[in-house]
């Protein structure tokens, strides 16, 4: 069965994309055919890390202009993973991002339907894991990604604003949509060894990853799980993958 994860957060900049990309590489390295889809249509990131070779963007698929397979770029050979690692890129053109504002409910409803069909097609093509990288908060596209997922991975940091919004998302969105959830505490500033929390708001905490300046200062194209598997961040990601697999 194909597992679909939405990597989401209440606030921006919590580390969703870093975690989504590294998790996708970790799954593919462990032999799972994986597809990472950039559904952060308002702030595309994947195209600044990898070069698309496909002729279409995920935006085209959501608008009904192509099939999901037309949007895929396989980076297995580049990254050297055991299984396929497909990427589906969001269009970074400013005009495309601006046009999102004018997309109405009908477009968003069509996009959700497309996403559900795309998920089915990817499952039929033998994908084991699909990961949606999302926009923060409750934009339509993020809620569509959550709705189309089997499980939401909430990337959280310990600012009070993030904490209160995360609680609202859990009770007001994920629970209403009946989604399985788990939290990753990222950019933690305290001493991880002191931590005893295993859950928050009734949701399991998969990992607490410290704030490490060198993560932010390393090259944007670098995927630590691939280039530096002994790094603490990479080890956390692999342990998160292992935990997700048995949830
Ligand atoms: N544990 C960490 N310690 C320090 N820096 C981190 C950590 N995790 C991620 N970062 C850095 O934080 C910045 C934001 O990360 P990222 O782009 O993954 O967040 P995001 O949630 O996807 O942001 P957005 O909401 O804008 O899409 C990046 O520069 C990244 O390298
Ligand atoms: Mg991001």
CA nearest 138: which of 110, 96, 114, 108? Answer: 108
pLDDT averaged over the chain? 94
CA nearest 203: which of 3, 1, 10?
10
Give the pLDDT band (50/70/90) at residue 158: confident
- Nearest-CA residue for atom 25 of ligand 1: 12
User: Looking at residue 193, what is its pLDDT?
Assistant: 62
Say what the pTM is. Answer: 0.97
For ligand 1, which residues put their CB under 6 angstroms from it? 9, 12-18, 40, 43, 136, 186-187, 209, 211-212, 215-216
Residues 56-82 have a mean pLDDT of 97
Please give the CATH superfamily to which domain 3-246 belongs: P-loop containing nucleotide triphosphate hydrolases (3.40.50.300)
How do 85-88 and 72-74 pair as beta strands?
Answer: antiparallel
Nearest-angstrom CA–CA distance, 129 and 191: 33
Structure tokens given for 141: 């596209």
User: Closest ligand 1 atom to the C-alpha of 9?
Assistant: 21
Distance CA 194, CA 183 (A): 18
CA–CA distances in Å: residue 215 to residues 23, 211, 232: 15, 8, 10
pLDDT digits (tens, 9 = 90+) for 180-239: 999 999 999 877 666 666 888 899 999 999 999 989 888 888 999 999 999 999 999 999
Q: 90, 43 in Cβ contact below 8 A?
A: no
User: Would you tell me how many other CB atoms lie within 10 Å of the CB of residue 134?
Assistant: 31
Return the H-helix or E-strand segment holding 184.
strand 180-188
C-alpha 236 chain-centroid distance: 16
Q: Which atom of ligand 1 is nearest to the CA of 218?
A: 31
Q: What end-to-end distance do the CA atoms of the chain give, in Å?
A: 14
The residue contributing the CA closest to ligand 1 atom 23 is 13
Q: Provide the pLDDT confidence category of residue 160 given band limits of 50, 70 and 90.
A: confident
Give me ligand 1 centre to Cα 117, in Å.
30
Gyration radius of the chain's alpha carbons: 17
Q: Among all ligands shown, which has an atom nearest to the Cα of 153?
A: 1
* Residues within 5 Å of ion ligand 2, judged at the Cβ atom: 16-17, 45
């Amino acid at each position: 069965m194909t597992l679909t994860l939405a990597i989401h957060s209440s606030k921006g900049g919590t580390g969703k994309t870093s975690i989504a990309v590294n998790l996708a590489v970790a799954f593919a390295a462990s032999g799972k055919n994986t597809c990472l889809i950039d559904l952060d249509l308002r702030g595309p990131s994947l195209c600044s890390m990898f070069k698309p070779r496909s002729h279409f963007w995920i935006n085209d698929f959501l608008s009904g202009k192509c099939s999901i397979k037309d949007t895929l770029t396989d980076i297995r050979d580049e990254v050297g993973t055991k299984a396929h690692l497909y990427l589906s890129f969001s269009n970074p053109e400013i005009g495309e991002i601006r046009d999102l504002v004018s997309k109405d409910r009908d477009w968003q409803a069509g996009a959700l339907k497309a996403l559900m069909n795309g998920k089915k097609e990817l499952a039929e093509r033998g994908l084991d894991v699909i990961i949606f990288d999302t926009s923060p908060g409750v934009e339509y596209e993020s809620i569509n990604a959550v709705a189309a997922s089997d499980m939401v991975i909430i990337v959280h940091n310990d600012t009070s604003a993030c904490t209160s919004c995360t609680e609202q998302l859990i009770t007001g969105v994920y629970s209403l949509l009946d989604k399985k959830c788990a939290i990753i505490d990222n950019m933690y500033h305290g001493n991880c060894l002191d931590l005893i929390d295993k859950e928050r708001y009734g949701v399991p905490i998969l990992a607490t990853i410290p704030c490490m300046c060198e993560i932010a200062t390393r090259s944007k194209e670098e995927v630590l799980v691939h280039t530096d598997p002994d790094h603490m961040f990479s080890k956390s990601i692999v342990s998160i993958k292992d935990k997700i697999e048995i949830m």
